[in-house]
């Protein structure tokens, strides 16, 4: 008996603004074909799509469905609702001036024979009643500027929200460094903005649980991760009212950093967990903003943050200490090498958030 057409979508699609819709239809001999669509329901509609064939449902599930949705259970939809969601997203974006991605037409082959007349569900696009554009890491400044101009023409000034990367200022990095190995602390040269005893104590506590770990304090040869994390969080830190708010922003920035760095198979579950801890819309926007900054500013970074500690700085800013694992040392494994860095933030904003 021929299997009926099935449709699925990402469970957090309307919470985080981006996710997939997958539609699979079957042949009489058990073979199936699937179209899948990457949707931006906050602004750009269908950003990408593809169409593939599979020998049976099991291959479709193992090769496409499970990798796309990973640990989350996808939301099952009627095929009519799936097609309506896709086409409504395209219509919403077209009304703003944006066409669907170049592979949309090819992916839409799977929609043949599906009608939307049986679906009465209404889908809500945008964020809090407005388009919300987040510049992706693959979107050049020129394309981002075109999108912004298009939104301003269609929606008017103040009629939409956006997260947009601007020019970054040159940053002078301090070079104080020393090596800690085998539980013994080597010579350390203190410097302005650094709290070396706090670094030593952070390293001591970590090595107490993992005596075989080699730890470097402010190591040479790579940009300090504390500088990079501070730059990610900088625009929000500049607006923070007090130390507790700054501390929360730094912790959220560390989560956003690791969201980019972890195995893609775990990222969707992590995103669900993080957003579950941030029930208010402001917190969710902050996390999306910070994750977008990490992707935009440091697309080639491969270090994972193991631990972050903060203290109030005398000048009213925040002192930041970051411990990171080198490539290949994921939290599930014992780290082979860890870097501990310290920084007091003293920069001006280099990013616009509205």
Residue 327: per-residue pLDDT: 54
pLDDT tens-digit profile, the chain (354 residues): 678 899 999 988 888 788 899 999 999 888 999 999 999 999 999 998 999 999 998 999 888 888 888 767 899 999 999 999 999 999 999 999 999 988 999 999 999 989 999 899 999 999 888 998 876 656 677 888 899 999 999 999 889 987 654 432 222 222 222 222 222 222 222 223 445 677 777 777 766 766 666 676 666 677 777 888 888 888 888 777 788 888 888 888 888 888 766 655 555 566 666 666 665 666 777 888 888 888 778 877 877 887 788 778 777 778 788 877 765 444 443 333 444 444 433 322 222 222
Residue 268: per-residue pLDDT: 57
Give the CA distances from residue 236 to residues 150, 180, 233, in Å, rounded to whole numbers and listed in that order.
27, 33, 6
The span from the CA of 121 to the CA of 111, in Å, is 18
As to burial, measured by CB atoms within 10 angstroms (0-12 exposed, 13-18 middle, 19+ buried), residue 97 is middle
Looking only at the bridges linking them, the beta strands covering 161-165 and 351-353 are antiparallel
Instruction: Answer for the pair 38, 20: CB distance below 8 angstroms, yes or no.
Output: yes
Instruction: Answer for the pair 15, 275: CB distance below 8 angstroms, yes or no.
Output: yes
The span from the CA of 143 to the CA of 191, in Å, is 42
For residue 95 the two structure tokens come to: 């009304």
Residue 276: per-residue pLDDT: 62
Residue 214: per-residue pLDDT: 67
The span from the CA of 165 to the CA of 234, in Å, is 13
Number of helices (H) and strands (E) in the chain: give both, helices first: 11, 14
Looking only at the bridges linking them, the beta strands covering 337-344 and 318-325 are antiparallel
* pTM for the full predicted model: 0.55
Give the CA distances from residue 181 to residues 206, 300, 324, in Å, rounded to whole numbers and listed in that order.
12, 28, 16
Give the CA distances from residue 225 to residues 164, 185, 218, 260, in Å, rounded to whole numbers and listed in that order.
22, 21, 9, 14
Residue 287: per-residue pLDDT: 81
210 SS3 class: coil
């Amino acid at each position: 008996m021929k299997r009926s057409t099935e449709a699925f979508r990402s469970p957090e699609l309307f919470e985080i603004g981006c996710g997939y819709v997958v539609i699979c239809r079957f042949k009489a001999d058990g073979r199936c074909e699937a179209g899948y669509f990457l949707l931006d329901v906050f602004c750009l509609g269908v950003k990408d799509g593809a169409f593939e064939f599979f020998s049976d449902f099991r291959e479709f599930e193992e090769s496409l469905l499970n990798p796309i949705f990973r640990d989350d259970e996808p939301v099952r939809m009627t095929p009519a609702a799936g097609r309506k969601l896709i086409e409504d997203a395209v219509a919403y974006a077209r009304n703003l001036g944006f066409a669907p991605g170049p592979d949309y037409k090819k992916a839409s082959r799977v929609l043949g024979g599906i009608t939307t007349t049986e679906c009465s569900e209404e889908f809500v696009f945008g964020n809090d009643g407005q388009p919300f554009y987040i510049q992706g890491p693959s979107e050049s400044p020129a394309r981002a500027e075109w999108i912004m101009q298009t939104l301003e023409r269609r929606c008017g000034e103040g009629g939409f929200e956006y997260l947009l990367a601007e020019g970054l200022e040159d940053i002078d990095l301090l070079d104080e460094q020393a090596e800690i190995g085998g539980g013994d602390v080597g010579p350390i040269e203190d410097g302005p903005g650094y709290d070396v005893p706090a670094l030593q104590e952070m390293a001591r506590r970590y090595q107490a649980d993992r005596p075989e770990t080699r730890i470097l304090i402010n190591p040479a040869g790579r940009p300090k991760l504390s500088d990079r994390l501070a730059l990610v969080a900088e625009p929000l830190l500049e607006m923070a009212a007090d130390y507790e708010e700054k501390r929360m922003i730094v912790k959220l920035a560390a989560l956003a950093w690791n969201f980019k760095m972890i195995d893609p198979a775990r990222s969707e579950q992590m995103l669900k967990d993080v957003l579950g801890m941030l029930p208010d819309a402001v917190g969710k926007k902050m996390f999306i903003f910070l994750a977008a900054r990490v992707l935009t500013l440091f697309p080639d970074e491969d270090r994972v943050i193991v631990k972050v500690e903060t203290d109030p700085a005398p000048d009213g800013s925040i002192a930041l200490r970051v411990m990171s694992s080198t490539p290949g040392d994921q939290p599930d494994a014992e780290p082979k090498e860890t870097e501990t860095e310290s920084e007091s933030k003293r920069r001006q904003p280099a990013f616009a958030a509205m």
